[in-house]
Amino acid sequence: MARQKQAKPAKADDNDAAANASLGFTPERFERELKDLAAKAKSDTPGQRLLGQATLYVKAAALLTLLGVYSNASRLALSPVYGAVPASAAGWHSKALMAGCFVGWAGNLALRQLLTARLLLPLVALYVPAVQCLLYGFSQALGPSWGPLVTEGATLVPLAILTAASVADELEGADLSSLPRSLADAAPGIGSWGVLKLVEHVAEKMLQRHVGTVFWYTRMGLEVLLAGCYAVLAPSRWLALAIPALVHTAMFNPHVATPAATALLNTTLQADHWLLLDRRESVTGYVSVVENTQSRMRVMRADHSLLGGDWVDWRGNQVTEPIYAVFVNLEAIRLVEREKPVADSRAKALVIGLGIGTTPSALVSHGIETTVVEIDPAVYEFAQKYFQLRENHPPVIDDAVKYTNKAANETKEVYDYIVHDVFTGGVEPVALFTYEFLNNLYTLLKPDGVIAINYAGDLMLPTSKTIVRTILKTFPTCRLFRENPPDKRVVAETGADFTNVVIFCRKAAKGQQQQQQQQQLTFRDPVPGDYLNSPSRQSFLTPQHEILPRELFALGKDEEGSVLYRNGTDKIGKGQLANAIGHWKVMRTALPARFWENW
């Protein structure tokens, strides 16, 4: 009996051991788990925890940095097709970016269940150039308002969604226990948005200084570089799906600045009888020189605008023949009658904004010592190389605001003539129409000097009236001339009156402004020497289609008394957008859509 009583516990022990073994609780596993716990406890030091936290913050910051830079690359890529203002300042860009980030942040769990968001990021980024290239072909139908939204909705917004979802995943491991509960819940989202906007701002400033200097600072080069960075952060077998996009970007995308892409682009442009001679991405945008092989018209393009052009077959005279009469109108500055006439050989001129050099070349041909201030070195290089720019004074490659601030403080009453012609990219640079900037030009003019200002805009909008009023506040004795008479049918149908206006003004001493305002600015009759053997100057040198200031202020809407000061440039932003859209439509009627889309 005693032997039987001892056998039962042994059988029970065997059963327990078998049960533990079936559940995995073996002595060996128990010992191993103890060792793992000990090793984990040993490695879980404050330093290790700090390193882990730093790692996830670095990963999140890297993703936000890529998106912030891509935001700028996206706007740059859109500007040759839609113009810089519709691509960035229309409001859609920031709203689309914000909406994408919100959706990604709020829906990161759903995206995680579908597929890791970080693995999708490089795949989407690699397809962006191809998708943009495809959608550019619909720009004429979409227009400058919807085109940027649709394009970024298919490219930038998916990147924003996936980036925000990936950042949300990373920051789930952030240790915010030291913060109050409400702040700990909100800090990751608010902090991420702040980092994104900071990177976006810094990247914009850097690109303004360095765009076009190397391939990776071009529009397509930057997008390819960013896609490569995404691939490095999240390598996976899914990248094989991007091979068609890579092939398209490398071989068939005409916007990539390579010899092969340029040859492909010319093949496409030749269907409309155009030939690309040169192109460059620079501080004022995408700049190119294109020639029509039938009409022999050569133009210089900046984003979705033309800086000027001439007729190649008319070369060989003293000056080239411009395709736009407005540039000839500016040369009428020499015809303004002055109390003490000055000979061309003793006159000095300052030209703000070069374009293809039509006006400064004419002034130089007349023997006037002419200084040009141009911010974009690519514009100056192309004007020299392709448009027979004439010079008798070294150009100033600098920002006109900085240059005139310095010049006005150092010297006064230097120039007999100042030509202000800075309209580019579909919108006027606001800083160059402020009262402070114009006052610097006033300081640089001689007592009886003359200034000619070319302004392009919709005369029905308050923005145009504000700028004209600012000019009249600085130079009270002025006359305004339209490039063309108004088209009453177009104005009635669209409510817009977009045109170039050349404003001629004489300087008056501050105490004499009221008296001189009563005097009339007059032009002398041209003589044969004024025409420089140029048929276009014989037709357009004398200004026509005058519009009185009171007539201008009576058109459309106006903000009575409004003057543009340096600290108030934001208030005309909406007017700039309307002007840019009006200019976009004018450019699309001047040249075919494929010219603008295949940049």
pLDDT band at 39 (very low <50, low <70, confident <90, very high): low
pLDDT at 475 over 90: yes
Task: State how far the Cα of 331 lies from the Cα of 191, in Å rounded to an integer.
Answer: 55
Q: Could you report the per-residue pLDDT of 231-258, keeping only the tens digit for each?
A: 998 888 889 999 999 999 998 999 998 8
User: How far is the C-alpha of 475 from the C-alpha of 516, rounded, in Å?
Assistant: 10
Q: Which of 490, 430, 464, 454 is nearest to 578 (CA)?
A: 464
DSSP string, 127-165: HHHHHHHHHHTTHHHHHHHHHHHHHHHHTHHHHHHHHHH
543 with 332: CB under 8 angstroms? yes
Question: Does pLDDT of 448 surpass 80?
Answer: yes
Through-space distance between the first and last CA atoms of the chain, rounded to whole angstroms: 103
pLDDT, residue 449, reads: 95
| Residue 7 in this model has a pLDDT that exceeds 80 | no
| Mean of pLDDT values over 258-281 | 91
Categorize the per-residue pLDDT at 61 as very low, low, confident or very high, splitting at 50, 70 and 90.
Answer: very high
pLDDT on residue 323:
92
pLDDT for the residue 426: 58
Query: Which of residues 92 and 245 earns the better pLDDT score?
Result: 245
Percent over 90 (pLDDT), the chain? 60
User: How high is the pLDDT of residue 580?
Assistant: 87
pLDDT band at 325 (very low <50, low <70, confident <90, very high): confident
The answer on pLDDT for 23 being more than 60 is: no
CA 599 – CA 593 distance, rounded (Å): 11
User: What are the pLDDT digits (tens) for 254-263?
Assistant: 999 888 888 9
12 pLDDT above the threshold of 70: no
Query: Which of the four pLDDT bands, split at 50, 70 and 90, describes residue 393?
Result: confident
Q: Give the per-residue pLDDT at 558.
A: 84
Residue 413, pLDDT score: 85
Q: pLDDT by residue (tens digit) across 511-522? A: 555 555 546 899
Answer whether residue 3 shows pLDDT above 50.
no
Reply yes or no on whether the pLDDT at 28 is more than 80.
no
Rounded mean pLDDT, 394-414: 93
Which distant-in-sequence residues (6+ apart) come within 8 Å of 254 by Cβ? 133, 261, 262, 264, 265, 268, 598, 599
Show the tokens assigned to 385. 């190389």
Residue range 461-489: mean pLDDT, rounded: 93
pLDDT of residue 6: 46
Q: For the segment 551-599, what is each residue's pLDDT rounded down to a tens digit?
A: 999 988 888 889 999 988 877 766 678 888 888 998 999 899 999 999 8
Which pLDDT score is estimated for 540? 94
Average pLDDT for the chain = 87
User: Highest mean pLDDT: which of 11-25, 110-124, 310-324?
Assistant: 310-324
| DSSP letters spanning 218-246 | SHHHHHHHHHHHHHHHS--GGGGGGHHHH
In this predicted model, which residue has the larger pLDDT, 568 or 452?
452
Q: Hey, is 379 helix, strand or coil? A: helix
Annotated domain spans of the chain: 46-252, 313-566
Model pLDDT, residue 418: 98
The yes-or-no verdict on residue 361 having pLDDT over 90 is: yes
Share of the chain above pLDDT 70, in %: 88
CA dihedral 74, 80, 82, 84 (to 10 degrees): 70
Which tokens go with 168?
Answer: 């949300």
Residue 40: band (very low, low, confident or very high) from pLDDT cuts 50, 70, 90: low
3-state SS record for 85-99:
HHHHCCCHHHHHHHH
pTM of the model: 0.86
- Per-residue pLDDT of 161-211, as tens digits, reads 999 998 988 888 777 777 788 777 788 889 999 999 999 999 999 998 889
Domain 313-566 has CATH 3.40.50.720: no
